[in-house]
Amino acid sequence: MNGILVSFLVGACTGIGALPFLFVKKVPLAIKDGLLGFAAGIMIFASSFNLLETAMKDGDIFNIVGGIVVGAFVLTFIEYFVPHTHAEDYHKSNKTNIKKNFLLAVAVAIHNIPEGFAVGVGYGSGNVVTGINLALAIGIQNIPEGLVVAAPLIDAGYSKSKVILFSFLTGIGEPIAAIIGLYTVKIISNLLPFIFSFAAGAMFYVVSHELIPESHCNNNEIVATYGFMGGLILMIIFKTFIDG
């Protein structure tokens, strides 16, 4: 039950990311790109040192490589077949506002699938430290993601209260995916290394296919790169203290 509660808190961090718009009207592109890079660094660390490192202790090469490939393939399938749009494309679409908002929400939900699944797997494995590390990492990276999602809605003229509510609601996919991950581990615990690798592969896909390209599309590559390094360094510090 703790894992489910934590997943709701982690999902709510997407809404927290929109709260700065209570005080400002616009966030510079350089800051948004730096935060996307920051989120990417955190996800790479969590995937590598919380998921894959754990999988490699007990799993063989077939489970690990197979899990990564299948995880990436599943996200590719979802991206290809589920209609959605991304924050940087929001203004380019000529669809109705309601449909644009729905497609943006779907894009965030797709991102949240591997993240929530990873939190559920971490807690479901019985390794509390791994669960805490994953929840902390993903919760932190959800905050800048929430800001990036809220920005185009603010630019489009939506009220701040509606934008913040929208951002909180987009995090609902996180606990749903976490519950799936939690019970997947309980049902097929003998495939734990594969499941960890699957979650890592899905998160690698999101970073490479979405976060890094989005952070590099506004000529802010240096800012995004140092944001990425900052995310990695922050998680190294957190992991050092948590692991004791």
- Which one-letter DSSP state was computed for residue 21? G
pLDDT score of 114: 83
**Among candidate residues 151, 175, 145, 178, the one with its CA nearest the CA of residue 163:** 151
Q: Cα(137)–Cα(235) distance, rounded to whole angstroms?
A: 7
**Among candidate residues 94, 224, 97, the one with its CA nearest the CA of residue 156:** 97
Note whether 90 and 156 are within 8 A (CB).
yes
Q: Which two tokens stand for residue 20?
A: 């700065």
100: left (phi over 0), alpha (psi -120 to 50) or beta: alpha
pLDDT score of 234: 92
What is the 3-class SS of 143-203, one letter each residue? Answer: HHHHHHHHHHHHHCCCCHHHHHHHHHHHCCHHHHHHHHHHHHHHHCHHHHHHHHHHHHHHH
**Cα 204 to chain centroid, rounded:** 10
- Which one-letter DSSP state was computed for residue 84? -
Residue 156, CB half-sphere, CA atoms under 13 Å: how many? 21
**Among candidate residues 204, 209, 202, the one with its CA nearest the CA of residue 181:** 202
Residue by residue, pLDDT tens for the chain (244 residues) are 577 788 888 889 988 988 988 888 888 889 989 998 999 999 999 999 888 988 898 888 999 999 999 999 998 888 777 755 555 554 555 544 555 555 666 666 777 788 888 888 888 887 777 888 888 888 888 888 888 778 877 877 788 888 888 888 878 888 888 888 888 887 877 788 898 999 999 999 989 988 898 889 889 999 999 999 999 999 999 888 877 6
Integer-rounded Cα Rg, in Å, for the chain is 17
CA angle, 197 then 199 then 203, to 5°: 115
pLDDT score of 127: 76
Q: How far is CA 54 from CA 124, 167, 174, in A?
A: 13, 32, 22
pLDDT score of 34: 94
Q: Which two tokens stand for residue 102?
A: 């729905």
Q: Print burial letters for 13-46: b (CB count within 10 Å at least 16), e (below 16).
A: bbbbbbbbbeeeeebeeebbbbbbbbbbbbbbbb
